[in-house]
Homo-oligomer: A and B are copies of this chain.
Amino acid sequence: MPRPSQNTDQQLVEAARDLMRSAGISQLNLRQVAKKAGVNLGMFHYHFKTKEAFTRRVLQETYDKFFQEFTLESSKDGETLGQLRGALVALGKFAVRNRRMFLAILHDVLNKDKVVLDFVKTNIPRHGEVIVGLVRKCQKEGSLRKMPLSSVMPFLMGTNALPAMMLSMMEHLEIKRVRFIPLKLIAFEIASEKAIENRVDLALSALRPLTIQSKSRRGR
């Protein structure tokens, strides 16, 4: 018996997600969103009351799937070092492939958005624990040198996370070339599977025992 809804709430959310990709959630402009969605400005108050509630819903829909998508299921068989390598490569590939999303998350984290914060706080540790466990096991087995985790972990995490972020940021800023080299080429060299694996091997080789210095396992 009421007037039927035209799902303006969903239209607004989707328009916002589009705009978010280029500008970030922090500088989302409600009038702009409404215009893009072809929906009246007043619908924000009708559906969501406040901007915070609205952005919460936008972020919810954006990040929900993203975080569930990635699970570090390390294969239980093989050497522990090989397992660690596999986990790091998987993490690296995921980071590189979803680099734009990572940058967006970073952006939202810096804006102290509560929704994103909750996601990050619950999801990052989960993956971290897997890596930590494997590193410890390797250290006990002697395949990695004994070093404090506070040194090892940031080092390992940085090997692929930072290249992915740097690349994503350059793309974000639409930088055309670095040192006269086209970004496209650099992107390939940074984001290729081989490059990701190489960086992991590079990092692991640095952590191996000093006595038996050798290349860490190569090839896929």
Q: Which residues of A contact B (CB under 8 A)?
A: 23-24, 26-27, 103, 106-107, 109-112, 117, 121, 125, 128-129, 132, 148, 150-151, 154-155, 157-159, 161-163, 165-167, 169, 172-173, 175, 178-179, 181, 186, 189-190, 195, 198-199, 202-203, 205-207, 210, 213-215
Partner of A173, one of B26, B109, B199: B109
Q: How far is the CB of A30 from chain B (nearest CB, A)?
A: 18
The main secondary structure of chain A at its interface with chain B is helix
Q: Are B150 and A189 in contact (CB under 8 A)?
A: yes
Partner of A205, one of B121, B148, B195, B206: B206
6 contacts between A and B (CB under 8 A): A26-B111, A106-B110, A107-B111, A132-B179, A150-B195, A151-B190
| Closest chain B residue, CB of each to CB of A132 | B179
Q: How far is the CB of A114 from chain B (nearest CB, A)?
A: 11
Partner of A155, one of B109, B111, B199: B199
Partner of A210, one of B111, B173, B215: B215
CA distance A3 to B202 in the complex (A): 65
Q: How far is the CB of A143 from chain B (nearest CB, A)?
A: 16
Q: Apart from A109-B173, A151-B198, A158-B158, what 7 extra A-B contacts exist at CB < 8 Å?
A: A23-B112, A129-B179, A154-B162, A154-B163, A158-B163, A206-B206, A210-B215
Contact residues in B for A154 (Cβ distance below 8 Å): 162-163, 166-167, 190, 199
Q: Are A157 and B166 in contact (CB under 8 A)?
A: yes
Contact residues in B for A117 (Cβ distance below 8 Å): 173
Contact residues in B for A24 (Cβ distance below 8 Å): 110-111
Partner of A189, one of B23, B26, B148, B158: B148
CA distance A150 to B103 in the complex (A): 20
